[in-house]
Amino acid sequence: MFQPGLLKGKRILVTGGGTGLGLSMGRRFLELGAHLVVCGRRNEVLAEAAKNLTAETGGQIETHGCDIRDADAVEKMMDAIWANGPLDNLVNNAAGNFIARSEELSPRAIDAVLNIVLHGSAYCTTACGRRWLKDGRKASVLSIVTTYAWTGSAYVVPSAMAKAGVLAMTRSLAVE
């Protein structure tokens, strides 16, 4: 099913692509022939990931330092990405979380998770979507959520709230 070259010619952006699940997905996209674009807040992490992935796969990787909590920064990043060609896919992967009793979370902690997961995913999705619609281009968005977006979970309430919002956004945009 996953033949070599399956994603040849596809440009895929993975938010939070320098570590964890984003890094693993990026590696697989490269193995399947995609041109990988990754973004994250820490340029040194992105540079290290790009170096390692290039060595492992020989694939093309483009990195963009961007705090996706900032809508203006996301627009600037998308302009820079599109300057090298349009994206075919967006993977909303960037996340943040605090494992804590909800009554112990500060408003800043709650905002940090909501801003990365929910707002960042919305900013990236709408920024890509506007460009795709303007160009009449077919594309796809994959939003990484978790089971507690449906079920809820203790000690991760801001993440559950944000992931449920991302799920609702993704479903709503699919209907729209």
From CA 176, how far away is CA 170, in angstroms rounded?
Answer: 10
155 is catalytic: no
CB 53 within 8 Å of CB 36: yes
Q: Which of 148, 155, 170, 173 is catalytic?
A: 148
Spell out the alpha helix ranges (H) of 17-67: 20-31, 43-57
CB 97 within 8 Å of CB 116: no
Which helix (H) or strand (E) element contains residue 35? Answer: strand 35-40
Point out the residues that are catalytic: 148
